[in-house]
Chain A
Amino acid sequence: MSPNTSGDAPILRNVTKPRSDVAFFIGLSAFSSIYVFLIVAMLVADVCFTSWSNIIETLLKREVQAAIRLTFLSCTAASILSIWVAIPFGYLLSRYRFPGRSFFEAVADVPFVLPPMVIGLSLLILFHLNIYGWELERWLRDDLGFGVTFRWPAVVLAQFVVACAFAIRTMRVTFDQINPRAEEVARTLGCTRYQSFSRVALPQAMRGIVAAFAVAWARSFGEFGPILVFAGSTRMRTEVLSTTVYLEWSVGNLSSAVAVSLVMVLIASLVLVVIRFAGGPAGR
């Protein structure tokens, strides 16, 4: 390459001192470390605050065991429901343009922006709104024998409303990353749209489905506000681990609250590992 001789600024920089990217990487690491340090410090503080014997003692409490049981069952139920909705919803948003699509997208994003307490309150009002003498909760309880409010189904529903939004977003990104041409070709080979979805798109989305399930599970696991408002926090009935922390703390039993918190951290860590290994857009 010949040097610029036109009198303009030189094309090649006149290097007198080699430049370095070290400062850039130090900057990146420093800012990232602030957050990592904060989270690790919080966890270490929790560990220092309690002891193994305290954790074991807390775990042996009947109420805590019931809360662990309900947490696992409700999170799993909410996640399964979320996946059922998120797969078709994510596919619909990813593949088709239709009137009202923006409305669907906006509604799916509502749980991201609404304060959790508002979701719980809205559910409570929905189930108890009197419409010309008819009330959803009363109809479910009296006519179908299946009450929801302040019972375990309320826990699942409160978790589902929030978790499903996260699952939908994960599934939409998953389908966005799958080439739709394969489904088109499948249709020329004899598939209906449903068959091209179930036989071509769905097998390719398996990692995303696992990731969406894990995200929904993790989100349900951490839910507190809507559960408190819509399901209450009745011991042995609607108590999940997140409400256990609140109940123990509210009666001044801080060491038990911290012990339960550490159990939650352990479970959440396991879910994070599943998300990372499941891969997919949410796992990376």
Chain B
Amino acid sequence: MIKLQNLSVQTGSFILHNISLDVREGTYATLMGKNGQGKTTLMEAICGLRTVTAGTIQINSVDITRWLPGDRGIGYVPQDLVVFPGMTTYDQIAFPLKIRRWPRRMISDRVSEVAVLLHLTALLSRRPDELSGGQSQRVAIGRALSFRPRVLMLDEPVSSLDQQAKNETLSLLKSIQQQVGVTTLHITHDEKEAGRMADQRFVIDNGTLSEQSSLASPIH
């Protein structure tokens, strides 16, 4: 569950004011809005990367507003991917587990499990410059999922992919979310994508966030 209460975020001259949101446990939610409305800023604030000036963030009923990003238990896949340069796919997926000092054997087992889930088994020894856009995307998702996060944050995860890779990745995301049951918040511009993926849909417009029923009119 992700719950925002009267959240305000300021980054430079940009301000998000009084945002409230409630994503139910285990659901797949989408967040839509025009460019410059602060979708990414909001997601980064939830992840702990932007300073919250007022309000609270709760994950599974725990107030994490002042927690360090690494303690929040959020798996974050940024829009610009940011797979770590020079690391193999294995090392990327194992990264959060090594930070948490998991035993070597458990790391190896978990990486194999995630690799199977995301069809990455054949790519475990490859470095980022040997991966396609879709493969890099799956590596970033695998890295965010490997430590069994409480929630998953996806910032336009398929925006840079071609139609086929987009369809494959979306199907994969939905199936993983159903298997793992992790509460997911997914930013997208695409109305069809939101319709296909979302159990809950949110729209941010002029600094106001509202929940949209599935029959609501699309934003323009």
Contacts and interface: CB of A to CB of B under 8 A. Distances in A.
Interface in A6-48: none
Contacts of B96: 189-190
The interface residues of chain A, by DSSP majority, are classed as helix
B82 A190 contact: no
Contact of B84 (A182, A192, A195): A182
A199 B49 CA distance: 18
A189 to B, nearest CB: 4
A186 interface: yes
B143 A189 contact: yes
Contacts of B99: 189-191, 195, 199
B82 A188 contact: no
Given A200-B84, A203-B86, A188 B100 contact: no
A189 B49 contact: no
B26 to A, nearest CB: 21
Contacts of A195: 70, 99
B80 A181 contact: yes
B74 A188 contact: yes
Given A187-B70, A188-B74, A192-B70, A204 B86 contact: yes
Contact of A187 (B68, B86, B100): B68
B86 A188 contact: no
Interface in B104-148: 143-144, 147
A190 B86 contact: no
B55 interface: no
Interface of B: 44, 47-49, 68-70, 72, 74-76, 78, 80, 82, 84-86, 95-96, 99-100, 143-144, 147
B48 A182 contact: no
Contacts of A187: 48-49, 68-70
Given A184-B82, A188-B70, 7 more contacts: A182-B84, A187-B49, A187-B70, A189-B75, A189-B143, A189-B144, A190-B96
A140 interface: no
Contacts of B69: 184, 187-188
Nearest to B83: A182
5 contacts: A179-B82, A184-B82, A185-B78, A189-B75, A189-B95
A186 B76 CA distance: 10
Contacts of A179: 82
B95 to A, nearest CB: 6
Given A182-B85, A184-B49, A204-B86, A191 B80 contact: no
